[in-house]
Amino acid sequence: MKSRSAGGVRDAAEPGWSVGELAQRFNLPTHALRYWEDEGLLHPARDGGGRRRYGPDHLTRVAIIVRSKAAGMSLAQIRVLLDARAAGRHTILEEHLADLERRMRDMERSREMTRHALECQAHDITTCPRFRAAVQDLIDGAAVTDRHLA
């Protein structure tokens, strides 16, 4: 007998979600869930046929992984976050908070630069003194600190 769940159609005799159902629920490729399992972030049960079965606790873990990755955390950082026994969780989280604050400042500068570019009357935006001022620190040799650009 098949029953419909929030994660898709599943066999009522097999509790939990399949890898495909869980991936679909979070709009992820199935290989991402398998990789996260290889990395020790997920520990699905196995049914009689050896297929992965994910329960309600996995929904929370996947949601935390997705949200943390979107915030720029590495899988190693997320592993520490999710491991109740991990030493150094506070250090990892403090470092991540500092990184988030830096990135938020960078995004605010980018938003202001973009807003000015929309309103600026300069034909060539790179010749506008106010627009150039937004990147002067980089022109002067400040290191690019965004790990996604370096």
72 and 101 share one domain: no
Spell out the SS3 assignment of 22-70. Answer: HHHHCCCCHHHHHHHHHCCCCCCEECCCCCEEECHHHHHHHHHHHHHHH
23 and 71 share one domain: yes
**Amino acid (one-letter) located at 126:** T
CB atoms within 10 A of CB 54: 25
57 and 106 share one domain: no
Q: Is 70 exposed, middle or buried (0-12, 13-18, 19+ CB in 10 A)?
A: exposed
Which domain CATH number covers 33?
Answer: 1.10.1660.10
3-class secondary structure, 145: coil
* 9 assigned to some structural domain: yes
Q: Which domain holds residue 103?
A: 97-139
56 and 26 share one domain: yes
Tokens of 75: 């899988």
Please check whether residue 64 is in contact with residue 27, taking contact to mean a CB–CB distance below 8 angstroms: no
* 146 assigned to some structural domain: no
75 and 24 share one domain: yes
41 and 14 share one domain: yes
72 and 114 share one domain: no
54 and 122 share one domain: no
Pick the closest to residue 47 from 10, 78, 73 (CA basis). Answer: 10
Q: What is the pLDDT along the chain (150 residues), one digit of tens a residue?
A: 344 444 444 444 456 899 999 999 999 999 999 999 999 999 999 999 999 999 999 999 999 999 999 999 999 999 999 988 878 889 999 999 999 999 999 999 999 999 999 998 888 988 888 888 888 888 888 655 554 454
Query: What pLDDT score was predicted for residue 142?
Result: 67
52 and 22 share one domain: yes
103 and 64 share one domain: no
Query: What pLDDT score was predicted for residue 97?
Result: 94
* 91 assigned to some structural domain: no
Q: How many domains does the chain have?
A: 2
102 and 73 share one domain: no
Query: What pLDDT score was predicted for residue 86?
Result: 79
End residue of a domain, out of 33, 51, 82: 82
Query: What pLDDT score was predicted for residue 145?
Result: 54
